[in-house]
Amino acid sequence: MGELLGVAVLGAGHMGADHIRRLDRVVSGARVAAVADLDPARAKDAVAGIDGVLVHTETEAALDAPGVQAVLIASPGPAHEEALLAALARGLPVLCEKPMVPDSAGALRIVEAEARLGRRLTQVGFMRRHDAEYRRLKALLDGGRLGRPLMLHCVHRNVSSPPDFTSAMLIDSSVSHEIDAARWLLGQELTAVSVLRPRPSSGAPQGLLDPQFVVFETDGGALVDVEVFVNCGFGYQVRCEAVCEAGSARIGDDHGMLVTARGDAATEVPRDYLVRFAAAYDREVQSWVDAARRGRVTGPTAWDGYAASAVAEAGVRALESGERVGIALAGRPGLYAGHDD
């Protein structure tokens, strides 16, 4: 295929700048055609050394810039709905960072907009679906050798949280990944959620309920538990163990080189997601670019983005009330039937 896919990147912060680097230097078949950030200095820094990129402060200006054929959204969650609707109105394929739209009503408006168009244009940035270990676990569960999955035990630890991180964000920003991974791994919907709150770590900012212990029930009778701890201080750790009727399988044990010296053995622990999931982000963006160049969309859909937001919203209610909260999803449009990338 000849022409490079011209991508507009919205938001040039931590993720946006990393995706700009990835589009420019790692993936094939694409080029950064425009960047928009409310802070033009961030956008300029992110495109330093890349020729011919126009920098904007307005979303619409970036989407209408010459050569733009696709959009990567990496602005904060609350800005996603407007950007997605603008991209869909132009018929542009989108890779949207999670959460697709943080509130479920807004997320459903994206599903409805695609249903009106009669085609899917959105891939959501749940990069764990592109991680080699998660893919092996999914293949093992789908193959049936371990029998019916009974439980998923998940761990999600960050070294520290950003300054504006709230107790709700442990669920709607961090646990959103486990919500999507559990739905995808099990092929089941999450139907209820409870959240336990241990005494916060003294390493957490004042007032932040960190860690939390979240338990989901599924429509297939499985349980999914998640320890989420975003100021653990010691490393970025993401694990998942599937316990099935005929065996168990665990991914995410810290890997990398094992160094043994002077009676000690040590491995490196990744410090953040950009390190732990580097290869997954590369595969995510490459598969999005490849699909967009063929006029297709693969990966987690707008429906998956909506489901994750609806489940997370129930999780935040469970956190705040201390009650078990049931989850009811809207009707799933035929456009998303049977899709399981």
Ligand X SMILES: O[C@H]1[C@H](O)[C@@H](O)[C@H](O)[C@@H](O)[C@H]1O
Residues at the interface with ligand X (CB under 6 A): 158, 173-174, 177, 230, 273
Report d(CA 252, CA 336) in Å as an integer. Answer: 30
Choice between 273 and 306, CB closer to ligand X: 273
Q: What angle do CA 34, 39, 40 make, to 5 degrees?
A: 50
Q: Which amino acid does the sequence have at 291?
A: A
Choice between 277 and 303, CB closer to ligand X: 277
**Number of residue whose CB is nearest ligand X:** 174
Report d(CA 38, CA 200) in Å as an integer. Answer: 35
Cis status, amide bond into 211, omega within 30 of 0: yes
Q: What is the smallest separation between the CB atom of 229 and ligand X, expressed in angstroms? A: 10
Choice between 273 and 303, CB closer to ligand X: 273
Q: What is the smallest separation between the CB atom of 278 and ligand NAD, expressed in angstroms? A: 11
Choice between 173 and 218, CB closer to ligand NAD: 173
The listed partner (ligand NAD, ligand X, none) that binds 11, CB under 5 to 8 Å by sort, is ligand NAD
Pairing type for strands 212-218 and 190-196 reads antiparallel
Query: Please, are residues 327 and 193 in contact by the beta-carbon 8 Å criterion?
Result: yes
The listed partner (ligand NAD, ligand X, none) that binds 81, CB under 5 to 8 Å by sort, is none
Choice between 58 and 340, CB closer to ligand NAD: 58
Report d(CA 293, CA 30) in Å as an integer. Answer: 9
Contacts of 83 (CB under 8 A, 6+ apart): 10, 59, 71, 73, 75, 96
The listed partner (ligand NAD, ligand X, none) that binds 174, CB under 5 to 8 Å by sort, is ligand X
Residue ranges in contact with ligand NAD by CB under 6 A: 10-16, 36-39, 42, 59, 74-77, 79, 97-98, 125, 127, 173, 273
The listed partner (ligand NAD, ligand X, none) that binds 287, CB under 5 to 8 Å by sort, is none
Query: Please, are residues 156 and 229 in contact by the beta-carbon 8 Å criterion?
Result: yes
Q: Which amino acid does the sequence have at 62?
A: A
The listed partner (ligand X, ligand NAD, none) that binds 269, CB under 5 to 8 Å by sort, is none
